Chain A
Amino acid sequence: MIVGITIITVSILVNQVTKETFSKNNPGLDAVVGAKGSPLQLILSSIHHIDIPTGNISYQNARKIIKHPAIKSATPISLGDNFQNFRIVGTNKSFLKLYKANLISGTTWSQPMQAVIGYNVSKITKLKINKFFVGSHGLIDTGDVHAEQPYKVVGVLKKTGTILDNLILTSLDSVWNLHSVTNKDKLEITSLLLKYKNKTSSFSFPRLINKGTNMQAASPSFEISKLLKLTGNAHRIVDYLSVLIIILSFLGILFTLLNNINERKYDLAVLRTLGFSRWKLFSIILSEGMIISILGSTIGLIFGYIVYESMYYFSIVGRSLELGQLNFLNDLFLIWIIVNIIAFITCLVPCIKVYKQNIRSTLLNS
């Protein structure tokens, strides 16, 4: 029972939080334009900051897209470095507007090598205003640092509950300077985060980019729903497995109670002679079964939550997930109720056996 509920709890929590995190991380973006490659990889790297980018695109080409009449807003981002595994994102100030981000302290950057850090970055790395830090090459900490050009923290963002909390933001110039790109014609960015003026562009615009340029346009909602469908199948297999374990635990409760009753039928008959009514014994056996079930299912839920929390804290990917949403509580409570209702029905079998017990023949046979 405990194992089954633990697995199903973890599965629900991971499923729900993944869905919600994906949804919260996307501030209503309609498309992401980046280098050709996997569209899912482009979305995951540019919006959710999980995967590595598909490559870079020319900033000159990107500017043409920004000026396209179908585009309402376009935010360029440039990835490539990290500080203690927190990604450093070169962008412009429209990125902050996109996430409706506010500062707890400090200001936004006004010149290269100034950085605004997310809430979790500040909490975990202990970086504060006016402190300096040096970025490492790549998107995970390899120790290969840009020691010659440190960043200065000029602002700390309020908690948003999105991926923004785990990002370090700076100007595009900072990233270009750090990587010694001086030729304006050769400037590159990782991707462009787009919002359309009109939703009808979601059909025509990607086709325009995908066929007419060496870039690709990917739709966040389409790619993420594809991903969730894939992971959903895996979740379903885990769920079936846990349902099987729970069914086995019901059978376990049933046979344990039946066995108990068989071993204690003499004692139960004695209790009847002492004045315990059939209903009283019925309720005692039912209580025994339900205590096992309620304890088992509750401990399972707690274990599941602990396993999930551990996964969150000990995984690097976990830094991209945000806890705090309580919507999954309804699902877990529903499962808890269903499990205990089935346990109740299962327990009725031994209870009826006790109710129908003939005390005289039991005492005589004992």
Chain B
Amino acid sequence: MFICEDVSFDIDGQKLFSNINFNLKPQKDLLITGPSGIGKTTLLSILCGIQKPTTGKITYNSIDLYNLPENKIDEFRGKNLGVVFQNFNLINTFTVKQNLEIAISAIDRKKSILFFKLLDRVGLANKSHIKVANLSIGEKQRLAVARAFVGDPKWVFCDEPTSSLDDKNANIIANLIKEESLRCKASLVLITHDSRIQSLIKFSQILKLGDEL
């Protein structure tokens, strides 16, 4: 069970959002929507242990995330969470393969057959030796998705995974995320203001930021 309890966040004394609450059961999906600037990306950072909330609690299977020492939060994120960032956060000087390898080494797991299958599924098997800087936006997005699933995460977070893509590529990415979540038996938390996403993925829960108060 993944619980977000009374989470609030202030910037310079100004409330960005407050009292965010939800429970997410295993293998269920949550869509978080809301207009631009409402704090969706900040909320994602809070949910995956990158940004401490001003108040509130994030619990993964009874583990209070922000009660863990800083080092343990990093390790927890690496081993249990997969994150697709809005700007991908790939290492541009590394190749496609190296970006996946570094993600695997972060969690001290050995490279498995899955690694190659994953590259194949995201359509980057023939581009594994190409540097990320030379990939198209769509390819970077697919690589970011592949990297999020490389450690078989229990919870997956995606921040605006389709907003910069055309309909065709948005469809590919949405399907990929859904399929990989099912394969990993992971819960999916997707944050977007892209209205197309609801027609591409069926979510068990929807949270509209701005309406929560």
Contacts and interface: CB of A to CB of B under 8 A. Distances in A.
B91 A270 contact: yes
Interface string A326-366: 00000000000000000000000000000000011001001
B106 interface: yes
Nearest to A275: B78
B38 interface: no
Given A360-B45, A360-B51, A275 B89 contact: no
Contacts of A272: 74
Contacts of A360: 45, 50-51
A360 B48 CA distance: 11
A146 interface: no
A230 interface: no
Contacts of B91: 267, 270
A273 B89 contact: yes
B202 to A, nearest CB: 28
A273 B87 CA distance: 13
Given A274-B78, A275-B78, A279-B71, 17 more contacts: A270-B89, A273-B48, A273-B89, A274-B103, A275-B74, A275-B75, A275-B103, A276-B78, A276-B106, A277-B74, A278-B70, A280-B74, A360-B51, A363-B50, A363-B85, A363-B89, A366-B87
A359 B77 CA distance: 13
Contacts of B90: 270
Interface string B71-114: 11011011100010101011101000000001100110000000
Contact of B93 (A267, A274, A359, A363): A267
Contacts, number: 52
A271 interface: yes
B10 to A, nearest CB: 14
Contacts of A277: 70-72, 74-75
A273 B51 contact: no
Nearest to B104: A274
Contacts of A359: 50
A273 to B, nearest CB: 6
B71 A275 contact: no
B102 A274 contact: yes
A271 B74 CA distance: 10
A282 B90 CA distance: 21
Contacts of A363: 50, 85, 87, 89
Interface string A256-297: 000000000001011111111111100000000000000000
A273 B153 CA distance: 13
Contacts of B45: 360
